[in-house]
Structure 1
Amino acid sequence: MKLRCAVLDDYQGVALGLGDWARVDEQVDVRSLHHHLPGEEAVAESVGDCEIVVLMRERTPFPASLFARLPRLRLLITSGMRNASVDLEAAARQGVTVCGTASNSEPPAELTWALILGLARQVVPEATALREGGPWQSTLGADLYGRRLGLLGLGKIGTKVARVGLAFGMEVAAWSQNLTAERAAESGAVLAGSKEELLAGSDFVSLHLVLGDRTRGLIDEAELKRMRPTAYLVNTSRAGLVDQDALARALTEGWIAGAAADVFDEEPLPPAHPLRTAPRFLGLPHLGYVTRRNYEGYFTQAVQDIEAFLDGEPVRVLR
């Protein structure tokens, strides 16, 4: 009997074409699901017959309660080497091996700049007006040259964003709880004295932090009100860093000039979510890592993870 494998949340229908699944064809039957499964019951019903499940980032959470509903599961693979939505302790108790894949930091850094530029030059409203026969020019763009870019987080992605900011002639400042002046200077940034100082003094603020107990809700109503009314906020990291309700109010009431996000507290974003209709908001459906090179890497290494597991020597195991 072959093992059964399901690839979840393959929205674009590309998973089976971007990895060499023929390498495991004799031992594994693979299928992909092109739609999001809304909740544990739907997941358990769809993949309850599977010994192997492949996840795309954090699109489908795997808490302890879901592991308990999947007694056949033996191998869980996630794209990337970190997935906060997978309960690794529960997986271990259930005897499930959890493996990851490599992920490139360039795509989310590139998308961050797509959002910054989209906000600064009002790309969406101007493009929409052009297509729909609206007014020819109705906005004034915000300059980047000579303005301050504030980065909350200066890791792999934040460093790449900083270098582009410098190329635009921006002053780059950065802050995180463990960042030093020396480390900031290596990326061409100055260390802000505090989070509050960075928010109050920046024209564009971009978030590049890992979500955890110390960073959850880092940007709340008080912090948004510290920002300049001409400033913009960009989040391509994790939705939990920002109070979503406060952000919607900030946009509606004009506390800041605008915001952009590629991540949300619930995905896919519910139709009635306030950010869908918030003014001066540029939103994308979590595209930060969605590029051909990244996907080719994810599914190529997912096949490798399966091969190694079948050989009894799992690789890239998450603990």
Structure 2
Amino acid sequence: MQLSVTFLGTSGAIPTTTRNPSSLFVAREGDQLLFDAGEGTQRQMMRCGTGFAISHVFVTHCHGDHVLGIPGLLQTMDFNDREDPLSIHCPHGTRRQIRSLVSLLGNRPSFPVRINEVSGGDLAYRGDDYEVRTFDTDHDTRSIGYALIEDERKGRFDRERAEELGVPVGPAFSRLHEGKSVELENGTVVEPEQVVGDPRPGRTVVYTGDTRPTEATVDVADEPDLLIHDATFADDRVDRAADTAHSTARQAARIANRAGAKRLALVHLSSRYAGRSSAHLEEAREVFEREVLIPDDGDHLEIPHQD
């Protein structure tokens, strides 16, 4: 089952010639989700070939570099005769700001736009076999992060063991895998736990948006497959990071370690580091021994099952 991330915008507040403001596209099977929509997001979607069939937009906070792409994106959807509804999730208390962006050009879209305010710890959206949960972040405005968390998967079915127990090939296999017992012709009852292994974990992607390091990021998911964390500054601007409610690459790595993340992606790099992100990598790798990456705009990551 596909789960992938496309980095549409990885810059800090000011775009550069190679990095667009914040935006993240996530595809899971038939679902297409957008996290933040900085200026120029629709063009980035064209460049990366994601299409515009997104059903949900998840906004971490209402600073311009995370939301100014919404009006243009909605206008393009309208021009394309979209009929399907679009849900925009945003921090509690920001509905009015999002509504203003939706109607900025004077005309409401011809398709339904639903605005859903959420607070840290809420269930923002429930999809097929996964959910998007919120967690508190620490920025200088109302803000939240999001975690896409898949349900546990069924354990592996041991066909060889089932056949040894006399279970006939066919529907009985499916019944056992679904957690139901099967009675054989000789009266023996085979229970699911005899032929089905332990449940297997689903995959998790955590996206912080802009934030200082927070305990909530550690707690929201157990060993996330991918943590996408604010790393606006390197160590040379650690005081600036604290003053502006952002994180450094090293601080993001410490959070990744404590969360047990399998991979760490550093985003929202300040334009002062345009073309020179080596310090971010070095400082994060000194702390986090697993894979650290600084994605470029357009980079695409597949999130595999670990087993």
Per the normalisation by structure 1, the TM-score is 0.26
User: Which one has a larger percent strand, Structure 1 or Structure 2?
Assistant: 2
User: Which one has a larger percent helix, Structure 1 or Structure 2?
Assistant: 1
Per the normalisation by structure 2, the TM-score is 0.27
